[in-house]
Amino acid sequence: MASLKFSVSLESKNPNFAIGSSQLLGQCSISAFTGGYVHITGVYLINPFGNLNRIRVSRADTAVSDDSGSNEVDSSFDCSTKEMGIAGLVLGKGLGLDRKFSKGRRNVWQRVRGVKRVRKDVYFKSNCGGNGHDYNEEQQSEPVVVDEQSISGVDVDKVGALSTKRCNSILKNLERTNDDSKALKFFEWMRRKGKLKQNVAAYNLALRVVGRARDWDLAEKMILEMTSESGCELNFQVFNTLIYACSKQRRVGLGAKWFRMMLENGVQPNEATFGMLMSLCQKSRNVEEGEFTFSQMRNFGVRCQSAYSSMLTIYTRLGLYDKAEKVISLLREDEVVLNMENWLVLINTYCQQGKLEEAELVLVSMQEAGFSPNIVVYNMLITGYGKVSKMENAHRLFHNLRAIQIEPDETTYRSMIEGWGRANNYKEAQWYYKELKQEGFRPNSSNMYTMINLQAKNGDEEGALTTLEDMITMGCQYSSMLGILLQAYERFERFDKVPQVLRGSFYEHVLCDQTSCSILAEAYVKHSLVDDAVKILQNKKWKDRVFEDNLYHLLICSCKDMGHFENAIKIYTHMPKSDEQLNLHIICSMIDIYSVMKQFTEAENIYLNLKSSGIALDLITFSVVVRMYIKAGNLKGACLVLETIDKQKNIVPDIYLICDMLRVYQKCGMLDNLRVLYYKLLRSEITWDQEMYKMVINCCARALPIDELSRLFDEMLDHGFDPDTVTFNIVLHAYGRSKLFKKARTVLWMARKRGVVDVISYNTLVAVYGQHKYLGNMASIAKKMQFDGFSVSLHAYNSMLDAYGKEGEMEKFRSVLQRLRESGCAADHYTYNIMINIYGEQGWIEEIAEVLMELKESGIGLDLCGYNTLIKAYGIAGMVEDALGLVKEMRKNGIEPDTRTYSNVLTALQRNDMFFEAVKWSLWMKQMGLSTNVCG
């Protein structure tokens, strides 16, 4: 195989100035080209890293020498395959293989970014070998037509007589014309005719086609066929062809696959292999694959300059600066001769880390190596100093540029603006901003963002308006410009100055654009500039009722979320009034806001107006109204709304409305409604969670049969849900009320085990045992209560007093009363009423007098129940006059007698044979509409 020789002469002020071949090809070395000695004529190259000084490449000739061994075709790069200008699949003169190609064709070096197109003459020579004829001799013979019939075997004699090299030439021509299907058909024909034996060149051409078509399975089969059937020896060109195709398609995984297959087959990669792979890893930022490839390159002793640059770039972009430093050390250790690309990457690596002194030292070394500095280098340094806010050094470099005959470019000015912006130096940033525009350059979006922020911070509203005009000239979107402006003034807490900046044509556009108008209005509301927001909404110049309603709703909800309810009301009152359909979302939000502010009259008026409008209310509206009435304590109003919902069959309550319905029915004692709702809930498709079980048990305990409640409670436990203390206590009371004391004790034990038992749990059991006259169990639970660390509560004492008193166990009654007084618990109305009732039943007037004295001293006084109990006691004791006097005393103390009061009076009169007085009271009560059916 012929070795590659590549020579480039560069014209430069410095005779030692040279750029390596790998730089000229981007990041891939030229060493993959084989089969000839190449010279390039009249090409202008621009370094891809920036606007470098143009380099003149000297005139040369281009020729391709023959490799008589294998006639291998270069597969690393397709230099000129598409430049043949083949009009059809005709060999001979139609191939255009004359002494000269047609002039003015695209130069091979135009693959490099920034290459100037030139016209040149290319001379192509090739010795066919084998049969002793060169291409000129074959072209002078009768042309051989290769078409579908020839490939299929119709013209076997003519086509079959071709030599292997001639077949390779045909295949190469088909590959160059990008006729992939015909190329592969011809390749298949060559296989049938035995033309692929030890024909690496043909496989290489076919792999180009397959790689272009991304048929990677076929490519892998071809490589296996080369070694197993065709007796070909694999070389780096075969794999470079596929890696090059992956590089163009940015398929880093596939590129790595071919590279590993290359290593597994014992094929040594060359410089181009590593250049392409590292470039691919750089584009995809694949650090793991890049590290593996880089280590393999060094293991093979290959020194690809672009590979070092790629590895440095990967580490720098990912912020892996320690690893980048190690690569720099390897550059010195491997004694790599740096090209311009390497110098630029080195400087950039140090600049990105903020190591500007080291970067400048690299610049000195670069100059000593014969590379002249350019504007790209200085832009890197200026940007680096700007990032670390060392603007004195950036300023020094900027003013030294003209001294070394380098003109600042657009990037230079932009970097200076950004640097002074980071340093919060508005004066300098403004100067460079003006210079940038005077030089005919255009600021980028970052520059204008920086200027807007500086102007907002320094109170230059006129300057901000100018910057906005520049942004308009640049074609920036108005919504983006507005967002930048609002963000800047918000950051520096000067948002109240925004109305001063937004004027003129920019403000007019805001009024005409729905998006900009909504952004600005929402920002004003956020910063409590509600009057400005209302002004915008009133002056807007667009019409879209749906969008407008949504915007108003958004603003009202924003005020609500921030707790600015007055602002929400102000926006609502300034909404345009129309006869069109009301927005239910806005209505619901306002009802909720008025409810939070406890302005229930206003909230109800909105609901009544909505109801009278005839608009069909939806589920959300009904839910909000029900919640409003609950907050207002108007359970009757809530029930009326629930009745309306029940009549509308198209409204299916959701889980939230169901919970509200359960609460309302429970508080109103509507047990029938609770039962109906419960069984509807069982038939619904609503998924019950822990909260749902607790809600239903807590609200429906009194409405459900004890068996159903027990089943529901067990079901809750079976699902793994944990009842809370309230739920346990409610179930305790239900079991106690139904005399299911064994289950009640089990529930108490479960609550204790889960740690959710409280004093109410014990009170509940004490009360139900007392009510059902299980006095021993009652006393036992009271002791258990103390044993578990709970003090006996007043509620427990009252329950025991009532139970012992009603059973006539006065000794135990007195014992409990004494313990109550010793415990320090202050007796309440219920305690005194129990004492009066028990003493009255016993006819102990003296003890009642002591209770009354104690009540007077404590300042509690009698309540309605106490008066009723005392009247009953006086009646039993025959003190009728005193009983009648209590009625007058009640009215005097502002307590209105109820039906029970008059019933007790009648009972006292009848008990003491005062029938005439009893009849008078009975007639009077009848005239007043009071029931007397409770009289005994």
Q: pLDDT tens across 653-684, in order? A: 889 999 999 999 999 999 999 999 999 999 98
* Segment 220-226 mean pLDDT: 90
Tokens of 658: 């169901």
Whether residue 281 contacts residue 42, with contact meaning beta carbons closer than 8 Å, is answered with no
Q: Is the pLDDT of residue 78 over 50?
A: no
pLDDT category of residue 52 using cuts at 50, 70 and 90: very low
Using the structure block, give the residue that is written with the tokens 């005409």. 512
pLDDT category of residue 930 using cuts at 50, 70 and 90: low
pLDDT category of residue 905 using cuts at 50, 70 and 90: confident
CA angle 834–839–840, rounded 5-degree value: 95
Whether residue 761 contacts residue 729, with contact meaning beta carbons closer than 8 Å, is answered with yes
What sign for the dihedral angle of Cα 412, 414, 416, 419?
A: negative
pLDDT reported for residue 872: 87
pLDDT category of residue 133 using cuts at 50, 70 and 90: very low
Q: Is the pLDDT of residue 932 over 70?
A: no
Average pLDDT of the chain, as a whole number: 80
CA atoms of 458 and 450, how far apart (whole Å): 12
CA angle 773–779–783, rounded 5-degree value: 155
Tokens of 437: 């525009």
Whether residue 92 contacts residue 138, with contact meaning beta carbons closer than 8 Å, is answered with yes
Q: Among the listed ranges 466-475, 497-506, 924-933, which one has the minimum average pLDDT value? A: 924-933
Using the structure block, give the residue that is written with the tokens 């329950």. 799
Q: Among the listed ranges 13-22, 789-798, 891-900, which one has the minimum average pLDDT value? A: 13-22
pLDDT category of residue 277 using cuts at 50, 70 and 90: very high
Residue type, 515: T
Residues 6+ apart with CB under 8 A from 537: 517, 521, 548, 551, 552, 574
* Segment 334-344 mean pLDDT: 89
CA angle 186–192–198, rounded 5-degree value: 90
Q: Is the pLDDT of residue 84 over 50?
A: no
pLDDT 10s digits, 232-271: 888 899 999 999 999 888 999 989 999 999 999 999 999 9
Tokens of 304: 């690809």
* Segment 114-141 mean pLDDT: 36
**Cα radius of gyration (the chain):** 49
pLDDT 10s digits, 468-487: 988 888 888 888 889 999 99
Whether residue 712 contacts residue 697, with contact meaning beta carbons closer than 8 Å, is answered with yes
pLDDT category of residue 33 using cuts at 50, 70 and 90: very low
C-beta neighbour count of 693 within 10 angstroms: 20
CA atoms of 746 and 732, how far apart (whole Å): 9
Q: Is the pLDDT of residue 99 over 60?
A: no
Q: Is the pLDDT of residue 6 over 70?
A: no
Q: Among the listed ranges 192-196, 287-291, 523-527, which one has the minimum average pLDDT value? A: 192-196
* Segment 134-158 mean pLDDT: 44
CA atoms of 131 and 398, how far apart (whole Å): 68
Is the pTM here over 0.85, yes or no? no
Decide which of 378 and 99 is more confident.
Answer: 378
For 840, phi then psi, to 5°, come to -65, -40
Whether residue 548 contacts residue 578, with contact meaning beta carbons closer than 8 Å, is answered with no
Q: Among the listed ranges 96-100, 150-154, 383-387, 915-919, which one has the minimum average pLDDT value? A: 96-100
* Segment 163-167 mean pLDDT: 89
CA atoms of 308 and 204, how far apart (whole Å): 28
Q: Is the pLDDT of residue 457 over 60?
A: yes
pLDDT category of residue 213 using cuts at 50, 70 and 90: confident
Q: Is the pLDDT of residue 92 over 90?
A: no
Tokens of 104: 């003015």
CA atoms of 7 and 769, how far apart (whole Å): 110
pLDDT reported for residue 272: 94
Q: Is the pLDDT of residue 107 over 50?
A: no
What sign for the dihedral angle of Cα 625, 628, 630, 635?
A: negative
Q: Is the pLDDT of residue 500 over 50?
A: yes
Helix 690-700 to helix 655-667 angle (10° resolution) is: 20
Concatenated DSSP letters of 267-292? PPP-HHHHHHHHHHHHHHT-HHHHHH
pLDDT reported for residue 198: 87
Decide which of 835 and 13 is more confident.
Answer: 835
Tokens of 674: 């609770």
pLDDT reported for residue 908: 82
List beta partners, residue 36. Answer: 64
pLDDT 10s digits, 394-415: 999 999 888 888 899 999 999 9
Q: Where are the alpha helices (DSSP H) in 408-444?
A: 410-422, 426-438
Least Cα distance to 780 among 801, 795, 762 occurs for 762
Least Cα distance to 562 among 518, 591, 596, 602 occurs for 596
pLDDT reported for residue 785: 87
Tokens of 261: 């297959």
With a pLDDT cut of 90, the percent of the chain lying above it is 43
Whether residue 519 contacts residue 482, with contact meaning beta carbons closer than 8 Å, is answered with yes
Q: Among the listed ranges 22-26, 501-505, 805-809, 829-833, which one has the minimum average pLDDT value? A: 22-26
Residue type, 336: V
pLDDT category of residue 131 using cuts at 50, 70 and 90: very low
Q: Is the pLDDT of residue 886 over 60?
A: yes
